[in-house]
C-alpha cells in the first residue's frame, strides 16, 4: 500500500477504543513515512511491476518465438552426443565447449553450449541440434544457468536494470527495499482503521465516489497483496546489487550456502570416455530427465539436473573422465532447509516453480501492485492543494512515541539500514528533505 492513507482525515482513536496505548502516538509517524515513501518510491514500484509483468510469460513466448530452434519432429533413432557435438563445433569453429544439454524429450533439441569470448558476464553461444538427424537448427546467444534465449534475456535485463547496466540496478533494489516497508505501514494503518468491520477491510467499496471510495480500493487491494509484496521484496533483494552482497555474506557466515558437487580430482585425468558414457553413468545413478553435462577441464565432468518446476530436481554427480565412474554425488534432498527455500524462492519469483499457476499469481500481484500505487496517487491528487506538493502528515510525531517503543524502532532501523544500504541511504535523504522543509516552513512562519 502507498502514498495516501496519508492526508486522510480520520477520527481520533479514543482511549476507550484503543487497547494499545502506543498506537495513537506511533500512527502519525507511520503515516508520515508511508506518505513520503509512497510519493517518491511509487514510480519505482510501478516500473518494477510492469516490467515484471512483461517477463512472467517468457517461457511460453520463447517456445513460440524460437520454435524452430527448440522443437523437432520425433525420429526413430537418436544420434550420439559425440556426433551432435561434432556438428555443433563445425557451426562455431574454434569456440570453447562449455557444456551440453541433451534433448530432454523426443521432440526437443540438444543444446551444445560454447563460451562467448566477446560478451561479458554469463553469456554463451548455443548451438541447437536435432538429436535424430544431427542437423543444426540454429545458433543463439544464451544467458545464465537458465539458458535464457535473447527475448527473455532482454526482458529480464529490462526488469533488473532498465538496460542501464550496474547503475540501473539501483532502481530495482530501491523498489525491493521499500516495498515491504510501504506494505507493512499500509497494512498496520488499514487493519487498525477497519478493525471491527471485517467486510470493509477485505472488500472494496463498490458504490459512492471520491477519495473515500478510492481509499477503499487502495486498502483492500493492498491487504490482499501484502503477503505477495513481502515475498517479492525478500526474494528480489537476494540478487540485488548491495543488499544481495550482504545476504550472500550472511549465508556464508551461517553456512547456509547452496551446496555444489565437487569436480576436483586427486590427479589430472589420464583419458576421456566422452559425453555419451558420462551421460550413461549419470543416468545409472538416477540423474535423469533434463540435465546439463559440464565439460571436465582439468577435473571431472559434472552432470546436473536442471528441472526447476515442482518437484524440484537438482541432483548432481561428478564423473571421472578417465573411467566414467561417479566419484561424488549431491542430492537436492540433502540440501539444508535454507538452501532449499532460497532455490524455491528465486524460482517462484521468476514464475517457474509451479508453472502456469505460479505465473498467474505473479501477474495478479504485478497488476495489483500497480493498481494500488495508482489509487494512492489518485487520493493524493484529490486532496492536493491548488498549488504545491500538498501537506504531508504532521511533523514531530516521533517525539510522542513512548521510549520503550521508539528505542527498538531506532535500533531496528539502524540494523535494516546497514543490511539494506539503499534503504538506509534513501531514508536518511527523506529525513534530510523533511528537516529542510520543516525549517523553511518555521522560518516563513
Give the single-character DSSP code of 120: -
- Flag whether pLDDT at 270 surpasses 60: yes
pLDDT, tens digit, for every residue of 345-375? Answer: 999 999 999 999 999 999 999 999 999 999 9
Confidence of residue 387 (pLDDT cuts 50, 70, 90): low
Q: What is the mean pLDDT of residues 408-415?
A: 90
pLDDT, tens digit, for every residue of 221-257? Answer: 999 999 999 999 999 999 899 999 999 999 999 888 9
Q: What is the mean pLDDT of residues 297-304?
A: 95
Distance CA 117, CA 94 (A): 11
Closest residue by Cα to residue 46 from 151, 154, 178, 165: 178
User: Do 169 and 109 share a structural domain?
Assistant: no
Task: Output the pLDDT for position 394.
Answer: 64
Which distant-in-sequence residues (6+ apart) come within 8 Å of 385 by Cβ? 391
pLDDT, tens digit, for every residue of 7-65? Answer: 444 444 444 444 456 677 788 888 888 888 888 899 999 999 999 999 999 999 999 99
User: Do 167 and 237 share a structural domain?
Assistant: yes
Distance CA 362, CA 53 (A): 8
User: Do 310 and 242 share a structural domain?
Assistant: no
Is 291 within 8 Å of 304 (Cβ atoms)?
A: yes
Last residue of a domain, one of 114, 140, 159: 159
The pTM of the full predicted model, rounded to 2 decimals, is 0.87
DSSP-assigned states of every residue in 359-423: HHHHHHHHHHHHHHHHHHHHHHHHH--SSSS-PPSPS-GGGGS-HHHHHHHHHHHHHHHHHSHHH
Is 392 within 8 Å of 40 (Cβ atoms)?
A: no
Task: Output the pLDDT for position 374.
Answer: 94
Which distant-in-sequence residues (6+ apart) come within 8 Å of 86 by Cβ? 134
With respect to residue 282, please indicate whether it lies within any of the assigned structural domains.
yes
With respect to residue 11, please indicate whether it lies within any of the assigned structural domains.
no
User: Do 407 and 278 share a structural domain?
Assistant: no
Task: Output the pLDDT for position 114.
Answer: 97
With respect to residue 343, please indicate whether it lies within any of the assigned structural domains.
no
Is 369 within 8 Å of 3 (Cβ atoms)?
A: no
Total domains in the fold of the chain: 3
User: Do 132 and 75 share a structural domain?
Assistant: yes
User: What percent of the chain has pLDDT above 70?
Assistant: 91
With respect to residue 149, please indicate whether it lies within any of the assigned structural domains.
yes
Which distant-in-sequence residues (6+ apart) come within 8 Å of 1 by Cβ? 34, 38, 182, 183, 185, 186, 187, 189, 190, 218, 219, 222, 223, 226, 372, 376
User: Do 210 and 154 share a structural domain?
Assistant: no
Distance CA 319, CA 346 (A): 28
User: Do 154 and 78 share a structural domain?
Assistant: yes
User: Do 364 and 247 share a structural domain?
Assistant: yes
Distance CA 358, CA 47 (A): 21
User: Do 42 and 30 share a structural domain?
Assistant: yes
| Residue with more model confidence, 29 or 378 | 378
- Flag whether pLDDT at 304 surpasses 50: yes
Confidence of residue 405 (pLDDT cuts 50, 70, 90): confident
Confidence of residue 3 (pLDDT cuts 50, 70, 90): very low
Distance CA 13, CA 395 (A): 19
Is 261 within 8 Å of 328 (Cβ atoms)?
A: yes
Closest residue by Cα to residue 244 from 255, 253, 235: 235
- Flag whether pLDDT at 80 surpasses 70: yes
State the angle between helix axes of 275-284 and 81-91 in degrees (0 to 180), rounded to the nearest 10: 140
- Flag whether pLDDT at 117 surpasses 50: yes
Confidence of residue 112 (pLDDT cuts 50, 70, 90): very high
Distance CA 442, CA 435 (A): 10
Q: What is the mean pLDDT of residues 102-119?
A: 95
- Flag whether pLDDT at 444 surpasses 70: no
The cell numbers describing 383, all together, are: 486532496
With respect to residue 345, please indicate whether it lies within any of the assigned structural domains.
no
With respect to residue 389, please indicate whether it lies within any of the assigned structural domains.
no
With respect to residue 390, please indicate whether it lies within any of the assigned structural domains.
no
Domain holding 210, by residue range, is 23-56+163-253+354-384+397-443
State the chain's mean pLDDT as an integer.
89
User: Do 367 and 426 share a structural domain?
Assistant: yes
Pick the range with the lowest mean pLDDT from 84-88, 376-380, 419-423: 376-380
With respect to residue 1, please indicate whether it lies within any of the assigned structural domains.
no
User: Do 129 and 270 share a structural domain?
Assistant: no
Amino acid at each position: 500500500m502507498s502514498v495516501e492513507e496519508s492526508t486522510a482525515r480520520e477520527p481520533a482513536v479514543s482511549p476507550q477504543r484503543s487497547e494499545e496505548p502506543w498506537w495513537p502516538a506511533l500512527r502519525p509517524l507511520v503515516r508520515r513515512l508511508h506518505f513520503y515513501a509512497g510519493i517518491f518510491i511509487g514510480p519505482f514500484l510501478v516500473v518494477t511491476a510492469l516490467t515484471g509483468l512483461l517477463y512472467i510469460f517468457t517461457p511460453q513466448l520463447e517456445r513460440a518465438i524460437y520454435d524452430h530452434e527448440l522443437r523437432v519432429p520425433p525420429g526413430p533413432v537418436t544420434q550420439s552426443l559425440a556426433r551432435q557435438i561434432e556438428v555443433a563445433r563445425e557451426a562455431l569453429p574454434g569456440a570453447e565447449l562449455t557444456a551440453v544439454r541433451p534433448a530432454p524429450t523426443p521432440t526437443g533439441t540438444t543444446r551444445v553450449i560454447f563460451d562467448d569470448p566477446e560478451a561479458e558476464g554469463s553469456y554463451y553461444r548455443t548451438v541447437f541440434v536435432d538429436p535424430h538427424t544431427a542437423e543444426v537448427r540454429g545458433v543463439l546467444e544464451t544467458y545464465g544457468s537458465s539458458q535464457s534465449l535473447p527475448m527473455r534475456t532482454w526482458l529480464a535485463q529490462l526488469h533488473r536494470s532498465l538496460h542501464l547496466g550496474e547503475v540501473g540496478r539501483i532502481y530495482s533494489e530501491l523498489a525491493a527495499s521499500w516495498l515491504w516497508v510501504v506494505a507493512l505501514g499500509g497494512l498496520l494503518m488499514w487493519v487498525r482503521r477497519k478493525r471491527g468491520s471485517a467486510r470493509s477491510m477485505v472488500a472494496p467499496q463498490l458504490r459512492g465516489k471520491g477519495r473515500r471510495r478510492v481509499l477503499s480500493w487502495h486498502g483492500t487491494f493492498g491487504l490482499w497483496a501484502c503477503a505477495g509484496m513481502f515475498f517479492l521484496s525478500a526474494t528480489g533483494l537476494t540478487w540485488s546489487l548491495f543488499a544481495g552482497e550482504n545476504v550472500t555474506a550472511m549465508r556464508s557466515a551461517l553456512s547456509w550456502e547452496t551446496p555444489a558437487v565437487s569436480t576436483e580430482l586427486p590427479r589430472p585425468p589420464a583419458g576421456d570416455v566422452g559425453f555419451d558414457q558420462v551421460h550413461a553413468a549419470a543416468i545409472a545413478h538416477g540423474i535423469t530427465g533434463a540435465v546439463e553435462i559440464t565439460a571436465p577441464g582439468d577435473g571431472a565432468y559434472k552432470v546436473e539436473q536442471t528441472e526447476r518446476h515442482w518437484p524440484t530436481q537438482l541432483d548432481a554427480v561428478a564423473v571421472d573422465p578417465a573411467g566414467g565412474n561417479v566419484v561424488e554425488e549431491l542430492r537436492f534432498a540433502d540440501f539444508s532447509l535454507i538452501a532449499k527455500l532460497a532455490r524455491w524462492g528465486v524460482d517462484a519469483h521468476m514464475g517457474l516453480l509451479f508453472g502456469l499457476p505460479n505465473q498467474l499469481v505473479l501477474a495478479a500481484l504485478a497488476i495489483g501492485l500497480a493498481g494500488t500505487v495508482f489509487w494512492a496517487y489518485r487520493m493524493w491528487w484529490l486532496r492536493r492543494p491548488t498549488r504545491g506538493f500538498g501537506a504531508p502528515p504532521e511533523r514531530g510525531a516521533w517525539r510522542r512515541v513512548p521510549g520503550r517503543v521508539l528505542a527498538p524502532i531506532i535500533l531496528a532501523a539502524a540494523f535494516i539500514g546497514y543490511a539494506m544500504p539503499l534503504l538506509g541511504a534513501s531514508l536518511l535523504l527523506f529525513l534530510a528533505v523533511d528537516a529542510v522543509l520543516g525549517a523553511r516552513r518555521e522560518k516563513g512562519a
